[in-house]
Amino acid sequence: MSAQLNSAAVLHYLQNLQNQIVEALELVDGKTFLHDSWNRPEGGGGTSCLLEGGNVFERAGVGFSHVLGNKLPPAATIAHPEAAGRTWEAMGVSLVLHPRNPYVPTVHMNVRFFVARAPESETNATLTTKTSEDIWWFGGGMDLTPYYGFEEDCVHFHRTNKTALDAFNPTYYPQFKKQCDEYFYLKHRKEPRGIGGIFFDDFNTLGFEKSFALQRAVGDSFLQAYLPILQRRKDIAYTEKERDFQAYRRGRYVEFNLVYDRGTLFGLQSNGRTESILMSMPPIVKWRYDWKPENDSAESKLYSDFLIDRDWL
């Protein structure tokens, strides 16, 4: 069965995934997410689920989008010029959770599917094999951004990622981890955003059915990867000093999302809903001029022990 015929199955999975994650997070926080559905003039829409001022989450956004169009934005055509001029369809679930407690890491997860349809205006006799087929791929992953690092949390997060991928190919975890480390890197700061995880894009290596199964394995493993960390750390006592450092480090998150993040660029360039695209931003952020942590402090250990190229397993 072709990718075109199965896009409905992907759509159904993503909508259910959003609902499952929101329900699980509501149980942890005790407050209810706002559900905000929106439509896009060019086609499609989505539902943004947002929790602000929660008991556990200072801001948590879990968004679903399904957008369609006739002309790809520059963020997509640069990487895939062969898809230019085609009608396209993109769908995905993307989340960013900003907990209130500085000892709980921020986390990001995204799973998505993209199709650029084969032209219908030409007859099959005039189409080459390449142009007569839909262009499609899956993408996604998850990464962890601690403010105060705990080795067991990092190991658990990476081990869960590896377990999800090993059923498909044992080479995928090291490959996707490397891609994650390279992608979530602030070149202007010369530092990683966090301790990484996995990242994959333009993935169709296994054919549609198995590639879709891999995406589901990643999406389904998110709660297992993050909730145990959240439960361990959410009730640790903290002071304004830790909150201040959290706000400072959140600045790096904002810098990455606005300068480098492909999803942000694609959403804005494709005329997506701005509030939904930017709901990943933390609510309280601080910047300081040329600030550095004190030697041998808990804050300095984030840089020396966690924001480094490291094999967590």
> Could you confirm whether 80 is annotated as catalytic?
no
Catalytic residue among 108, 156, 158, 188: 108
d(CA 98, CA 101): 9
Give 123's contacts (C-beta < 8 A, 6+ positions apart).
Answer: none
Torsion sign, CA atoms 147, 151, 156, 162? positive
Residue from 197, 215, 232 nearest 136 by CA: 215
d(CA 156, CA 190): 26
The residues facing 94 across adjacent strands are: 63, 110
Residue from 260, 276, 288 nearest 46 by CA: 276
Cα distances from 110 to residues 16, 222, 304, in angstroms, run 14, 10, 28
Which residues are known catalytic residues? 108
